[in-house]
Amino acid sequence: MSFAVIINHDLFKKKWLQALRQAAPELPIAAFPDIASPEKVTFLLVWRPPAGVFSRFSNLQCIASAGAGVDHIFRAGPVPENVSITRVVDEQLTRDMGLYLAGQVIAYARDFYTYLRAQQQRHWRPRMYKRTDDLTVGIMGLGVLGIHAAEVLHQLGFKVRGWSRTPKSWPHIQTFAGDEQLPAFLQDTHILINLLPLTEQTRGILSNELFAMLPDGAYLINAARGAHLVEKDLLTALDSGKLTGACLDVFCEEPLPNDHPFWERESIIITPHVASITQPERVAPQIIDNYYRLQKGQPLLHTVDRQRGY
Ligand code: NDP
Ligand code: OXD
């Protein structure tokens, strides 16, 4: 059995290698593209691996995502049926996402970005702000990150509702499930947060069709994946006033190309995929734990359901 990493980002790769070597000094770890015996590799830790790469590893048993999302693994696929897929679940990653979303929701409700622009022009323009109990925040995806974000926003005083694939019951959160309940979930949502995994069912879900079900002037926060959003539909919805603005952390193409129309829009806040970043030194022990579990034939932690795609 042997362990290798394929991480498509030099700094991130270095940090992961350091963290893994610290967590398991006894374990030889090879890093793509310098993997001398790919046929010996049974466990791969990956982030955005190149397309088709898995076929080089004829004895692979597990692919671990170096983040919470696994869409990058399926995109590089195909992944043989017998290979397990795992992902990161980590309290700090969860907390960081909650903080990012709370910050963006407050910045919108209290017009912080508007005042930043006004300051740049030396304009003194007080506005009435939106109070927490006047705003309903709707979270698409009530998984590890969505439930925590819902709790944080509830604690801040916002009315919170959430939508998931299967029904959920959670204190203080109004819950909706499945396609049938999507219109009811959206109809009173003033701030829509996307925390869905990217799957065949959710790709392109943030579209004109969905925006039409929101109240006029709603605000969108996409912290999940760029391909959830139909980018041209966002521009249409902003132009028509259906949406009042958007905060985007993720994009179809990253880095966002220089000539992309989103850069020009005052009503779009852009962050460079930093809502919540996995910290290798925190997470390396759970990856190593799974490697040894695999070796001992024990159940793996944080496995992904291949049928569901997340
Ligand atoms: P989970 O797998 O824990 O939760 C996913 C949630 O989405 C579940 O509630 C699930 O429903 C719901 N869901 C899935 N498919 C559908 C569907 N078709 N219709 C309705 N609901 C659906 O994921 P996490 O919370 O851990 O992470 C979510 C995503 O956040 C990741 O996949 C990743 O893409 C993104 N992310 C972004 C980061 C960033 O920095 N921008 C950082 C980390 C993650 P059910 O509960 O019924 O299964
Ligand atoms: C993740 C991410 O999926 O950082 O963890 O996007």
List pLDDT tens digits, range 23-45: 999 999 999 999 999 999 999 99
Q: From the CB of 196, is ligand 1 less than 6 Å away?
A: yes
252: domain CATH number is 3.40.50.720
Residue 273 appears among annotated catalytic residues = yes
**301 inside domain:** no
**307 inside domain:** no
pLDDT at 1: 78
Q: What is the pLDDT of residues 138-164, one digit of tens each?
A: 999 999 999 999 999 999 999 999 999
The Å distance, Cα 224 to ligand 1 centre, comes to 8
Instruction: Give the helix/strand (H/E) hosting 268.
Output: strand 268-270
Q: Distance between CA 227 and CA 206 in Å, rounded?
A: 9
- Answer yes or no: do 107 and 61 share one domain: no
Catalytic residue among 260, 273, 302, 306: 273
- Answer yes or no: do 254 and 127 share one domain: yes
**305 inside domain:** no
As beta bridge partners, residue 41 has 2
**17 inside domain:** yes
- Answer yes or no: do 104 and 235 share one domain: yes
Q: For residue 286, what are the domain limits?
A: 3-90+278-296
Tell me the pLDDT band of 77, cut-offs 50, 70 and 90.
Answer: confident
pLDDT at 181: 98
- Answer yes or no: do 23 and 157 share one domain: no
Q: What is the mean pLDDT of the chain?
A: 97
The Å distance, Cα 71 to ligand 1 centre, comes to 11
Catalytic residue among 48, 190, 225, 228: 225
What is the average per-residue pLDDT within 63-77?
A: 97
What is the average per-residue pLDDT within 190-195?
A: 99
**198 inside domain:** yes
Q: From the CB of 162, is ligand 1 less than 6 Å away?
A: no
Q: Distance between CA 43 and CA 1 in Å, rounded?
A: 8
257 CB-near residues (< 8 Å, 6+ apart)? none
- Answer yes or no: do 144 and 282 share one domain: no
How many domains does the chain contain in total? 2
Residue 225 appears among annotated catalytic residues = yes
Q: What is the pLDDT of residues 198-253, one digit of tens each?
A: 999 999 999 999 999 999 999 999 999 999 999 999 999 999 999 999 999 999 99
Tell me the pLDDT band of 297, cut-offs 50, 70 and 90.
Answer: very high
Long-range contacts of 24-30 (CB under 8 A, 24+ apart): 24/284, 24/288, 24/291, 27/3, 27/288, 27/291, 28/2, 28/3, 29/3, 29/4, 29/5, 30/2, 30/3, 30/4, 30/5
**308 inside domain:** no
- Answer yes or no: do 108 and 246 share one domain: yes
**How far from each other are the two terminal CA atoms of the chain, in whole angstroms?**
26
Q: What is the pLDDT of residues 3-17, one digit of tens each?
A: 999 999 999 999 999
Q: Distance between CA 35 and CA 253 in Å, rounded?
A: 28
